[in-house]
Structures are given as C-alpha cells and as structure tokens.
Amino acid sequence: MANVTVTTNLPMATESPLRFPTLPVAGQAGTSFKPEHLAAIAAETGPQGFFEIHAENYMGAGGPPHRMLERVRRDHPVSLHGVCMSLGGPQPLDQEHLQRFKALVDRYEPALVSEHLAWSTHVDTYLNDLLPLPYTARTLAHVCDHVDEMQNAIGRPILLENPSTYVLFAESAMTETHFIREISRRTGCGLLLDINNVFVSSTNHGFSALEYLRDFPLAKVGEIHLAGHAEQEDDEGELLLIDSHDGPVADAVWQLYEIVIARCGPIPTLIEWDSRIPDWPVLRAEALAAQAILNRHSDGRETSHALG
C-alpha cells in the first residue's frame, strides 16, 4: 500500500456551483454541432437531443467559437469528442494538449467525453488522419497507459472509439474486439461504438460485421456513432469504403444499428456529418430517424437476440 499523508490544518474546499445545467443524455439522439446551424437550432422549439463538438475546435481561450458553444450548452447536453490525443502514438501524450482538453471538460461539463483508438502524431507534427495500430501485447500496454493518463488528468472515464481501418498488420496477435475489451477491462474506460466504422472495416477486410458486433463488449458502450461513407475502388478494382462523414447513414448501417439497440437498449446516439454539410433540417432528420429507433426499444418491447 502506498504511503498517504493526511493534512488536517487546511481549510475545507467548497464545491463550486455548475456553470451549466446538468442535462440528461440517456436515450437521446444528437448531431454534430456546426456553427452555420446555430440560428436554426435556436429557432427550433422542443427537444433537440445532444450536440457533439470536436475538442480541437475550441482550444482557444475565447472568441466567437466559445460564445456559440456557450449558447448551445445552456440548453443542451454536449458530447466532447477528441481527435488528436493520439492515444496509440509511440511518444508521450502532449501535456499542453492534454491540459487544454481538461480545461474544456472543466469549462463545459460535457455529458460524454470520448477519444479514438488511433495515433495521429509524429514527433511535433499532428497528422490529419486517425491511423491504425497493430494489435499486440506491447501496443495494448502502451494504449492502456495513455488512457489511464488521460482519465487521471481529466478526472473521469472516457469512451474509446473503435476505428475504421484500411490496412491490417501482419504482427497483430489478437482481434480488434479482444484488444478493445482488454483496454476497457484494464483501464475502466467505456466504449464508443461507431457502427459505420464497423461496416467500413468489415467491407474492406472481408469479415462479418455481425460477427464483429457479436464479439464486441456491448455492455461497455456508452455512446454510438452513425455516419455516412463513400464508395471507391482500390488498385485491384475491389470495393473500398471510406469513413467520409459526408452524407446520410447507409441502409446497411441503419440495419446494424437497430440490431444493436434491440439488444442493448437506447444508447445515446450521435449522427456525424463533417463535410459537405447539409442544411439543418437534413441533419436533424437523420437524428430523428435514430431517435425513432431508440424510442421503439426504450421499453424493451422489441428486444431481439439477433447477435446471439
């Protein structure tokens, strides 16, 4: 047992009041927050679910981005989604970036906090991509150390997102689902299940998306992502899917989503749409489609065991 020094001659700290209300996110569908939609969001009445923001877009001290986000956060739950922590990177976490991330958690008190199972840095360069990892014991220990460090810094568990992949590593010694399960077991983190990523990877590598989901630790999932993807061809003329976030959710992804929700219940669900951004009613319609599925399964009446 570690030595602990108890200090009794310091004044007791008082709990600071919340800047923003605590708003429920359970059973809700949400959308990526885009500044160009702010006026339409403000004009709409009734529940609108939650909004996800990319942490790196709000790491400045103030200005218009924060004023817009503060306006949204007053009335809606927010999901804070990191894209540059590089939890799978070979070098130590960037401490300045980690502290900026913590400042956002403290400032906006998000309902959900998440990051990617990927790496995106090399020395002092941030790469505009989420790159895959070899699934080995060494990589597992490395990622777990980084997840622990991030969770300790922000003072709460994170949700770790499964990747979309376009290459596999010959040295991988375990499946992706086993790798993810072990990270969650060792660190206590939750999981963000991106169903579009599952469909993209399963198509690109020729495995069953249903088999992947059957082996995924669904009990650890605290949020789901849905998104659109693009179809291309690889050098051999074979179908290659790209996780592009530039269109509506595909029918096959909706089908997988309903299977998961029927099995697990109404997990908070986010529609990602990050390029070729449509008008607000189009994006909102995607979220309403997800909400309809969540509502159908909110009381367990249609529970299915399709995943086994």
**Tally of CB atoms within 10 A around 285:** 12
pLDDT of 119 reads 83
Beta bridge partners of 81: 54, 114
pLDDT of 220 reads 98
Per-residue pLDDT of the chain (308 residues; tens, 9 = 90+): 333 332 223 233 334 456 899 999 999 999 999 999 999 999 988 788 999 999 999 999 889 999 999 999 999 999 999 999 999 998 999 999 999 999 999 999 999 999 999 988 776 776 667 888 999 999 999 999 999 999 999 999 999 999 999 888 999 999 999 999 999 999 999 999 999 999 999 999 999 999 999 999 999 999 999 999 988 878 788 889 899 999 999 999 999 999 999 999 999 999 999 999 999 999 999 999 999 999 999 875 444 445 65
**What tens digit of pLDDT does each residue of 96-118 get?**
999 999 999 999 999 999 999 99
Contact 104, 53 (CB under 8 A): no
Contact 138, 173 (CB under 8 A): no
> Minimal CA–CA distance to 139: which of 98, 104, 96, 186?
186
In the chain, beta strands by DSSP E: 29-32, 51-54, 78-81, 112-116, 119-122, 125-131, 159-161, 190-194, 221-227, 230-233, 239-242, 269-272
| All domains of the chain in start order, with CATH | 29-296 (3.20.20.150)
